[in-house]
Amino acid sequence: MRKPMIAGNWKMNLLYSKVPEYLQTLNRELAANSRIRRDAVDVLLAVPAPFLGLAREYGEKHGILIAAQTIHEKPEGAFTGELSIPMLKDLGLRWTLIGHSERRQYYNETDASVAAKAKACLDQGINPIVCVGETRAEREGGQTEAVLKRQVEAVLRETGAASNFVIAYEPVWAIGTGLTATDEQAQEAHAFIRGILRQKLGGAAEALRILYGGSVKSSNIKGLMKQPDVDGALVGGASLDPVEFARIVDCQ
Ligand code: 13P
């Protein structure tokens, strides 16, 4: 039985000064509305780097996990603007996204660099949420499975038997577009990804969570979560409003 995870990705949005109010509202909404037991679902927020310490202070005491949006694979050095794993751990944090399609698209992250980041995380006790997904052109060209296989296998080759990560399947064409994958498209891709994990990891693949991301809202989360291989969601735009984000947690 996989514990569901509902994760928010703020991307480059909101402000440091809004973090306490956001998290107080989210905590209040979750406490007030939840039909489900709070400990039956992992709730996580990936926030901009300057907000990490403050978000931890206001979030983690209420059981909301706080994550970085990316990390560098090297522990230290002359990498202007980057965030290291020891810095994240020093803040008391244990989670990060890696390989988000926006990082791949705008910052030249590759399968190889994403795999190196995943390995660095796992070696140093950080839980990575590894993002994969095909572009519209790749889907239309019948390349979806080949792309997912290439992206997932690149990581598995680096991390081997220690591959204890969360995967987020985020079709690029569904991100920020309002075009959600249908429940069936999501299930198909998730089942395919789990098949790759199974080939490499055997029974351990059954314990790994695969989140769906791409225009998730409270109005479409239920159908997605009914799919047997959808273990949660990675929510962008709809996570910026704590009331809507709490609804998504509550709806799953
Ligand atoms: P949207 O929910 O805004 O489509 O973004 C999805 C995403 O990229 C989460 O990482």
Q: How confident is the model over 207-231, as pLDDT tens digits?
A: 999 999 999 999 999 999 999 999 9
pLDDT bin (cut points 50, 70, 90) of residue 18 is: very high
Residue 98, pLDDT > 90, answer yes
pLDDT bin (cut points 50, 70, 90) of residue 34 is: low
Is the CB of 175 inside a 6 Å radius of any atom of ligand 1?
yes
Closest ligand 1 atom to 102 CA: 8
Is the CB of 128 inside a 6 Å radius of any atom of ligand 1?
no
Is the CB of 171 inside a 6 Å radius of any atom of ligand 1?
no
Closest ligand 1 atom to 174 CA: 4
Residue 44, pLDDT > 90, answer yes
Residue of minimum CA distance from atom 2 in ligand 1: 236
Distance 59 CA to ligand 1 centre (A): 21
Task: Report the pLDDT value the prediction gives residue 157, as an integer from 0 to 100.
Answer: 96
Side-chain-facing half-sphere of 217: CA atoms under 13 Å: 12
Task: Report the pLDDT value the prediction gives residue 221, as an integer from 0 to 100.
Answer: 97
Could you read off the pLDDT of 136-190 as tens digits, one per residue?
999 999 999 999 999 999 999 999 888 899 999 999 999 998 888 999 999 999 9
Task: Report the pLDDT value the prediction gives residue 252, as an integer from 0 to 100.
Answer: 75
Is the CB of 189 inside a 6 Å radius of any atom of ligand 1?
no
More confident residue, 35 or 26: 26
Q: Show which residues are catalytic.
A: 100, 170
Task: Report the pLDDT value the prediction gives residue 251, as an integer from 0 to 100.
Answer: 86
Task: Report the pLDDT value the prediction gives residue 28, as an integer from 0 to 100.
Answer: 94
Helical axes 144-159 vs 183-201, angle rounded to 10°: 40
Closest ligand 1 atom to 234 CA: 9
Task: Report the pLDDT value the prediction gives residue 162, as an integer from 0 to 100.
Answer: 85
Whether the pTM exceeds 0.85: the reply is yes
Residue 5, pLDDT > 90, answer yes
Q: Which among 14, 235, 239 is the best mutation to test ligand 1's pocket, defined by most ligand atoms within 8 Å of the CB?
A: 235
Domains of the chain: 5-251 (3.20.20.70)
pLDDT bin (cut points 50, 70, 90) of residue 38 is: confident
Distance 78 CA to ligand 1 centre (A): 31
More confident residue, 140 or 37: 140
One-character DSSP codes across the chain: -PPPEEEEE--S-S-GGGHHHHHHHHHHHHHHH-SS-GGGSEEEEE--GGGHHHHHHHHGGGTEEEEES--BSSSSSS-TT--BHHHHHHTT--EEEE--HHHHHHS---HHHHHHHHHHHHHTT-EEEEEE---HHHHHTT-HHHHHHHHHHHHHHHHGGG---EEEE--GGGTTSS-PPPHHHHHHHHHHHHHHHHHHHGGGGGG--EEEESS--TTTHHHHHTSTT--EEEESGGGSSHHHHHHHHHH-
Residue 75, pLDDT > 90, answer yes
Task: Report the pLDDT value the prediction gives residue 140, as an integer from 0 to 100.
Answer: 95
Task: Look at 26-35, 107-116, 212-221 and tell me which has the smallest mean pLDDT.
Answer: 26-35
